Chain A
Amino acid sequence: MTLGPVLVLAALLFSMGVYGVLARRNAVTVLLAVELMLNAVNINLVAFQSALQSPQGLGQIFAIFVITVAAAEVGIGLAIVLLIFRNRRSANLDDFATMKG
């Protein structure tokens, strides 16, 4: 199995994710885009593991870590979005500029 196509796939996925994060206004969509980016990285990790034959299986282990963290992140992220939505009646990120200096 060659490394090239897999990496292209991962790059595509990541770019979609970046686009989602930067361009979409809906908070939930942004969260989904973040998931895309994370999974693109996972693909990269697994691919490099299999290509480089790292003896301890570091790639897989990292991938599992990322999945776990991503799950937690989504949990907390959704909760936050939900709360914000409840308070503001909006999920539009442009409305949330309270951190403006």
Chain B
Amino acid sequence: MTNLFLALASEGEKAVEFGSGGQLQEWAWLILVAPFVAYVLILAYGKKLKYEGGEIAVGMMAFVFGYGLLLWVDTIRNHTVFEKSIEIGRVGNGMVFEWGWVVDGLSSMMYFVVGTVGLLVFTYALGYMKGERRNTFFYASFSLFAGAMLVLVASANLAQLIVGWELVGVASYLLIGHYWEDKANSSAGMKAFFTNKVADVGLIVGALALSVSVGSFRIKDILEVATTNGDSLNAPYFGSTVAVAGALLLFFGAMGKSAQFPLHIWLPDAMAGPTPVSALMHAATMVTAGIYLMARMFPLYQEMATAARPIMIAVGAATLFLTGLIALVQDDIKKVLAYSTVSQLGYMMVAIAAGGYTAALFHLFTHAFFKALLFLGAGSVIHGVHSNNMSDMGGLRKYMPRTFWTFIIGSGALAGIIPLAGFFSKDEILGTLDYEGYTAVLWIAIAGAFVTAFYMTRAVALTFFGSYKGHGHPHESEGLMTVPLMILAGFSVVAGAVNMAGFKFGETIVLRYTGFTEWLATRDFSPLGDHHPEALEWGLALYGTAAAVGGIAIGWMLFSKDAETQEARDRLTIPVLYPILRAKYYLDDVALGLVGVIKGPAARFVDWTNTYIFDTIVNSFGFAAGWLGKVVYNVADQGIIDGIFNGSAGVASVAGGWLRKIQTGKIQQYAGALVIGAVALVVGFVIFNSN
């Protein structure tokens, strides 16, 4: 007998644990659950609090940050690789669904990033969102956003990863469309959701293909097969093997979340959400998901799915260069940053596709800090001037010094200026590309660095230099907002130190520290086989720096002068290219056209077939039956059968008419008849009985 209690609670066979780890790792599920608890608490009690629930959200993030930090430190010190899964259902004998959490170098790094950036952004939001609409719902969704990302990062199996993945998408939908009174905003949220959903088709199909082939959703099991070149992943699938096709499908999923060309179109529109949302989304919780997935599945791409790499690199290279160019012509400061993020994600994707596991994640790590910084800085500016457009800004360095300086640091880090964080991570990517022999892509990446420096210089010049062109008096933001900026600026300066390749002077190498590489390798299936140079390669560093400095110099030359008219001032009107860039390569039009066709003619056609074909067939049956019924009724029923019955009734009626005449009502006539009858009977009796 296994009754309901036993069926639900039999723990024994269901929790599976791998690796080493103590109580700390055992209880790490708390950071996954905390945001969801916060979500419920904020919705239930948030309205009564001073910050409308923001306190709960910040408290929760502080807990996540603290616990994440502990986990990371513990992982670094003890090289812990821990994984625990709890069964939540199974199909047949094989496929098991589980909730699990992984604590290893990779996921701990992500916990730390989500925790740190999350805590700072949440704190900032307390100031930024003051007096806005529906703050309770905002903080709740914000917690959901962080929680979904943590679920994704912690997942020990692909099913859970999909859960986290799509929850991130929904949370982003809610947050991007936060000001949904305006249709443009809710449409932006929907655009993000759809684009991601399209990509999710790849993720779901790919994840299922890999998992079913291996017979387990556990990433560990899949990678096990992948690293031993197992037959199950060599089965044919879609004209290729399961490994390659599955890997490409996963990559397609990553293209959505990590905004790779041409599925990046949702990300710039996502700026419709409040600025803290953009900061969190771009730095920690959403766009990194795709890169994280690639990193988590890295052994697959390294071993069995190498055939998928050229496509991934091509997509990444297209992303990093083409979207960087769009950033040049944007007026909205947040959109400049958005396209910059897309471009940087291209760098990460190129790196990981080329085999640079550490390089990509290192860039993810540093980028998280300086991009969060830039967005929060932009938010601070927007808060000050009440406009997103750089044409309404200018000269703000005098009014907002703290924002200005931190923004400069962020821009420098993004442009890759030594010794800021971005320099080291970008250099690592260039080094990987060089080593793996992707020379063409290397040059694209260097050109991309030039473009990056160029558009950031433009943004800084237009925003902070020259003279103020907006209305009212810009003011520096309050402490709740500037303190996170300064902390993030600190990270943007020092984050590169976790993984410095070292500077080689003759035979001596100084300042070499590769802790980050080791930490990330603290996971199953290391070594991961990515390249780590002995020291910084001066040549590459030179090219990279030259590109950055060149970009800054040209940008400064073109935009620092405070021209009289906006037209001449903020745009680089290169013929042919300019209209294309303004139109964002017409991708939006293509996408909208496609959606329009589906939503319009296709949907209407289907509805038409339903009403005019299927319904008509059914109705025809109905009417035909009705018609047949009439025919049967009129001809057969009324004509023949009724005729017979009516005929007999008529006879009866006529006979009755005759017979009623003898019923005179005179009792003596009746009696007479009676007597006559009796006499007749007697006579008859006598006659017939006589013989």
Contact = CB atoms under 8 A, between A and B. Distances in A.
A72 interface: no
B668 A101 contact: no
Nearest to B662: A101
A96 to B, nearest CB: 7
A74 interface: no
A99 B665 contact: yes
Interface in A25-72: 30
A96 B675 CA distance: 21
A21 B664 CA distance: 17
Contacts of B660: 101
Contact of A93 (B661, B663, B667, B672): B667
Nearest to B676: A22
A98 interface: yes
A50 B671 CA distance: 31
A18 B664 CA distance: 20
A48 to B, nearest CB: 17
Contacts of A97: 664-666
A18 to B, nearest CB: 6
A97 B671 CA distance: 14
B683 to A, nearest CB: 15
B656 to A, nearest CB: 9
Nearest to B666: A97
A98 B667 CA distance: 10
Contacts of B675: 18, 22
A18 B660 CA distance: 26
Contact of A101 (B665, B667, B671, B672): B665
Contacts of A30: 668
Interface string A80-101: 0000000000000110111111
Interface size of B as a range:
10 to 19
A94 B664 CA distance: 10
Interface in B628-676: 660-661, 663-668, 671-672, 675
Contacts of A22: 668, 671-672, 675
B667 to A, nearest CB: 6
A57 B272 CA distance: 122
A44 to B, nearest CB: 14
A30 B669 CA distance: 13
Contacts of B672: 22
A100 B668 contact: no
B438 to A, nearest CB: 117
Nearest to A27: B667
A69 B666 CA distance: 24
A96 B668 contact: no
A22 B660 CA distance: 22
A96 B663 CA distance: 13
Looking at B661, B668, B675, the one whose CB has the most chain A CB atoms below 10 A away is B668
Given A22-B672, A22-B675, A99-B667, 17 more contacts: A21-B668, A21-B671, A22-B671, A30-B668, A93-B666, A93-B667, A93-B668, A96-B665, A96-B667, A97-B664, A97-B665, A98-B665, A99-B663, A100-B663, A100-B664, A101-B661, A101-B663
Interface of A: 18, 21-22, 30, 93-94, 96-101
18 contacts: A21-B668, A21-B671, A22-B671, A22-B672, A22-B675, A30-B668, A96-B665, A96-B667, A97-B664, A97-B666, A99-B663, A99-B665, A99-B667, A100-B663, A100-B664, A100-B666, A101-B660, A101-B663
